[in-house]
Amino acid sequence: MWMPSARYPDPAIEILDASFARYRVFSAAVERLATGCRWCEGPVWFGDGRYLLWSDIPNNRILRWDEESGAVGVFRRPSGFANGNTRDRQGRLVTCEHGGRRVVRTAYDGAVTVLAESFDGKRLNSPNDVVTARDGSVWFTDPTFGIAGYYEGERAESELPQNVYRLDAETGVLEMVAHDIAGPNGLCFSPDESRLYLVESRGEPTRRIVAFDVVGGRTLRDRRVLIDAGPGTPDGIRCDTDGNLWCGWGMGDDALDGVMVFNPEGRLIGRIRLPERCANLCFGGRHRNRLFMAASQSLYALYVDIQGCPGG
């Protein structure tokens, strides 16, 4: 059974490089905010309502945690086996759905608009994770995880390669920006949006995080491996304002479960140990300095001394 740390600093927060020390808040510990899920994913913060949403994929629901009361409730059920979530630059919820094999936007009045469900006349696979850029464009990954069985969606045949897409905010045109990726998963931009980071969660011989240069805000070039995950499995990723990558992590061995933090050069500098494998994360709170971690059956949080980038 997980127990919160009774001591400061929390030993679950490990400084692996001296540069990480400045990001640790001495008297902040890992907190468990909720549990009882089957597979947590896609946390997204709504500061204007002081609540967090996250997906519980196999239970086909999006949950809501309230900052003021600590109450947990259902935001949407069924959710279309929702996975990744973010907000667009107007503050509306954008969600990847395995069940509908689509990306949708939820307005403040609850109206749902389909943003993308096909490419070149073929159905998308199962959109996984999503971010927005400052120009309003929506970028998302489309692996086959959600159509591989009935646990996180509906079993179906793939009609498209596993690609990364960009949806133009002005024209609504969907463009393929990276193709035939080995299990495209989490993605995020660098603070200046000159780089896109992408998790290849089916990379061989090991999983990896790759980096692309972003050209003109709409195309990618110069793909290179930034981080070799070795025996671990990176999943969701987010960037802080110093350019560090905070990565959900795990792989069968509890020594790897939690969050790994890498500097912009790809060097491992810190780790947050969790008792469960972490699938995805986001920054939230009033100052975007609270890290929310969707980890297997539970939702965790930790205050850190850095802010997350907007758009994630």
Selection from 148, 145, 222, 134 nearest residue 178 by Cα:
222
CA–CA gap between residue 195 and residue 265 (Å, rounded): 12
> Does the annotation place 41 within a ligand binding site?
yes
CA–CA gap between residue 177 and residue 160 (Å, rounded): 14
> Does the annotation place 192 within a ligand binding site?
no
**Amino acid, single-letter form, for residue 194:** S
Angle at 161 between CA 160 and CA 166, to 5 degrees: 85
CA–CA gap between residue 185 and residue 234 (Å, rounded): 9
> Does the annotation place 289 within a ligand binding site?
no
Q: Which member of 235, 240, 242, 254 is catalytic?
A: 235
Longest dimension (CA), the chain: 57
- First vs last C-alpha separation in the chain: 31
What residues are paired with 178 via a beta bridge?
164
**Known catalytic membership, residue 120:** no
CA–CA gap between residue 199 and residue 208 (Å, rounded): 6
CA–CA gap between residue 47 and residue 43 (Å, rounded): 13
> Does the annotation place 185 within a ligand binding site?
yes
Query: Which residues are known binding-site members for a divalent metal cation?
Result: 41, 185, 235
Q: Hey, which residues are catalytic here?
A: 235
Query: Which residues are known binding-site members for substrate?
Result: 128
Query: Which residues are known binding-site members?
Result: 41, 128, 185, 235
